[in-house]
Structure 1
């Protein structure tokens, strides 16, 4: 049902000028999870918060984390249709995004209208940068609008510099590189090459389509009055100079609350971790959308076996495109005394566990912030879009990780996995850098820290 509330018996505000922030997220886990964590932070400061997502995404959230629908978290959930039928798959991102852009603006207007009638007038919309139409709605209704940027500082810098890259003759108007060499977007970011341009990693979309998509995001961000970001100022201090109204408010963490998962967490891995020596376990997780071939899954499995160290592997049932992934014959029996394989894990709790030594990751920004927050070194294995530049930042900028190198056939071999993990375990410099970043991250969200002050400053501006 349009505008359906998951729970609506929060008290209506009787103050005419009370703040009510409406958060609107794209319906993928990589977007919804940081939006939910941002909602917790805002609601924890006494602000009324409503999160809007699609019915399909909400159903997945409720299946995985039914406790999310609990008034103690002070975040109201509202669902709207995504325009697709029940039989449609949501795996085709292009089809889903196109349908949402057609139907969601109308549903959002209805949600805003209904909130006004209930006496819970929305005063500010915080929108996903994908939703440029939210700007028009906010302007029409004279609402304040902020964009929440859920990815990395370097990716924001790249997108905001697209017009300058065209002007300087580095890329053409279709996003194709016109010259070789490196581009330095900000003094505190690693230089990027044309291989780091995120529109080049387009999956089943054309590079030109992806470039136009990011160009649209660039316009939306430039047009927005405020940009909230999931990082902390000290991570890349000079990036904030690119946008005057940037508010880094991260790292955004669930801190034991439901974290916006589409898969149920297997908490048995925590009791398993309790039995492992401190600093010994390799945590392996590739997020919610990475896909491998069966050959690559086999090489990963055999690589972890070759290393001979304890490992916790989050192996989604849909890790292989169009089928279920299998481990090599007899694998579970051979690694049973030191390997644990689960469908999904409580990632923040896992990374904070003293037995974790390192994080083999796809370099999604949510996972990157989780790892940085817990002081864990990274082994980077990016899959899509922004993850490749995130890898450059982790390895060359922050110097808290290493990266795997595929062979000439695009396969990361078992020998490469063992080689890089052995190197990571032996690198005291990376471990020291990771612990320094952890300390900076924790300070930023503590009382008086840069992220805590930024969020309070943003809320004060929303009151004006």
Structure 2
């Protein structure tokens, strides 16, 4: 065996999806900036399909199998995919760790996505320090934790719901869909609850948020598990600027052309553009897509709308030609770069946690159209706790009509409430920068984590 490398070596294991890879990859950069060695684990398919090499900058890459090395689309849904990952992942992760343990740079710790609870079991089989990295808001994590421990009974049928530590009373429309309709999403409920099945074995819980954003629920959850806030995990250039050349996440699961969006935005006045994106997994009905399209036109603001190739057929006929002087449709955009652009004045979003915390950290007020999972709760916090956005109302058929979309956009862009939202957005941006800067809460917590990891050697 060669000479031992004199620094702790951390294995980071995300769920193989863009919304999970990106924040954990960005957090890995933070660890490297503190002097640790990080090996980031991706699947064989992602490595081959994106033609990734052995590293991204200072972060080493390695692979495990998910049983679908030729592509996830073979499954058609998450349930068989996760089942395969659960069957194949533990052995390939164990083999990977064994390989490093006989090298000059053995693994000292594993940071894993808790949806992959088996990664914790593998880490403990090797006697390694293990920390769970939660990619939801702390409020959502604590709601799910309360459901797992039957403090909150499901399905929830009477409201309002009061959960100790949460700053707001919650109605049915504010709760995660799995809590309100567990029988409609059995695979998702099983996956969500699995996060907590062996959590008591974890040495630490890490949450992608910052303390002042969710102080009450962080304090409450800290009483039942060892918890550190380490977010927001967005590229350093937009926060404390402590990591050189750090202006993007580094792995995209889509074909990318960043210049199209950025060049178009460069021709628009400050705060004049509505940025529209519903995430990488959203599938909207043709009727809803039609209402969004004509709602954007009716608002009379410039807009940049991300429409995946699979959704393009739902765009109303003649719409693109009719709005060519006002809007641009793209199949992908570099979201943090777009939100950081001074031309963007509003974000029409599904309110997934990554999108929400990016908007908060970059000072962009929101119009929210939550779909499912945690998005309803995030939307409630955006509107009523942090006061940086407005939730678009659905009609009796569950559709947000064009009139409502236009009204909400105008309220955020030029209304009285919009001015308050912009002031609050600026405040949360400043607090995000403060949290990640040297001596801030997230930076201090990461330093505490680093000290723990070094002591494991």
1:228 corresponds to which residue?
206
Partners of 1:152 and 1:13 lie apart in 2 by 43
Does structure 1 residue 415 correspond to structure 2 residue 403?
A: yes
Does structure 1 residue 294 correspond to structure 2 residue 286?
A: yes
1:76 corresponds to which residue?
60
2:35 corresponds to which residue?
46
Per the TM alignment, residue 291 of structure 1 is displaced from its structure 2 partner at its CA by: 0.5
1:242-321 equivalences under 5 Å are 242-243=221-222, 244-254=225-235, 255-266=246-257, 267-319=259-311
Partners of 1:260 and 1:90 lie apart in 2 by 23
Q: Is the 8 A contact 1:154 1:393 kept in 2?
A: no
Does structure 1 residue 440 correspond to structure 2 residue 431?
A: yes
Q: Is the 8 A contact 2:10 2:37 kept in 1?
A: yes
Deviations 1:19-75 (A, max 9, x none): 10001111111111111111111112221111112122334444xxx6xx4756211
1:52-451 equivalences under 5 Å are 52-62=41-51, 69=53, 71=55, 73-84=57-68, 86=70, 88-163=73-148, 166-167=150-151, 170-171=152-153, 175-177=154-156, 179-187=158-166, 189-200=167-178, 206-241=184-219, 242-243=221-222, 244-254=225-235, 255-266=246-257, 267-319=259-311, 324-425=312-413, 426=415, 427-451=418-442
Which shifted more, 90-99 or 76-85? Answer: 76-85
1:19-34 equivalences under 5 Å are 19-34=8-23
Deviations 1:149-183 (A, max 9, x none): 1111111111222255x35xx51xxx222543322
Deviations 1:318-352 (A, max 9, x none): 23xxxx42422222222111211111111111111
Partners of 1:178 and 1:220 lie apart in 2 by 29
Q: Is the 8 A contact 1:379 1:401 kept in 2?
A: yes
Task: In structure 1, list runs of 5 or more residues that go unmatched.
Answer: 1-11
Partners of 2:314 and 2:181 lie apart in 1 by 23
Per the TM alignment, residue 196 of structure 1 is displaced from its structure 2 partner at its CA by: 3.7
> Structure 1 residues 60 and 201 mapped into 2: Cα distance closer, same or farther (>3 Å)?
farther
Partners of 1:203 and 1:57 lie apart in 2 by 33
Per the TM alignment, residue 209 of structure 1 is displaced from its structure 2 partner at its CA by: 4.3
Q: CA RMSD in A?
A: 2.3
Which shifted more, 377-386 or 221-230? Answer: 221-230
Q: Is the 8 A contact 2:44 2:69 kept in 1?
A: no
Q: Is the 8 A contact 1:281 1:312 kept in 2?
A: yes
2:241 corresponds to which residue?
none
Which shifted more, 230-239 or 85-94? Answer: 85-94
> Structure 1 residues 85 and 350 mapped into 2: Cα distance closer, same or farther (>3 Å)?
closer
Q: Is the 8 A contact 1:158 1:185 kept in 2?
A: no
Partners of 1:182 and 1:102 lie apart in 2 by 38
Per the TM alignment, residue 90 of structure 1 is displaced from its structure 2 partner at its CA by: 4.8
1:6 corresponds to which residue?
none
Task: In structure 2, list runs of 5 or more residues that go unmatched.
Answer: 236-245
> Structure 1 residues 194 and 414 mapped into 2: Cα distance closer, same or farther (>3 Å)?
closer
Partners of 1:58 and 1:400 lie apart in 2 by 38
> Structure 1 residues 204 and 92 mapped into 2: Cα distance closer, same or farther (>3 Å)?
farther
* Equivalent residues, number: 437
Q: Is the 8 A contact 1:125 1:138 kept in 2?
A: yes
Which shifted more, 176-185 or 431-440? Answer: 176-185
1:5 corresponds to which residue?
none
2:242 corresponds to which residue?
none
Q: Is the partner of 1:325 in helix, strand or coil?
A: helix
Deviations 1:371-414 (A, max 9, x none): 01110001111122011111111111111100111211222111
Does structure 1 residue 454 correspond to structure 2 residue 445?
A: yes
Q: TM-score w.r.t. structure 2 length?
A: 0.90
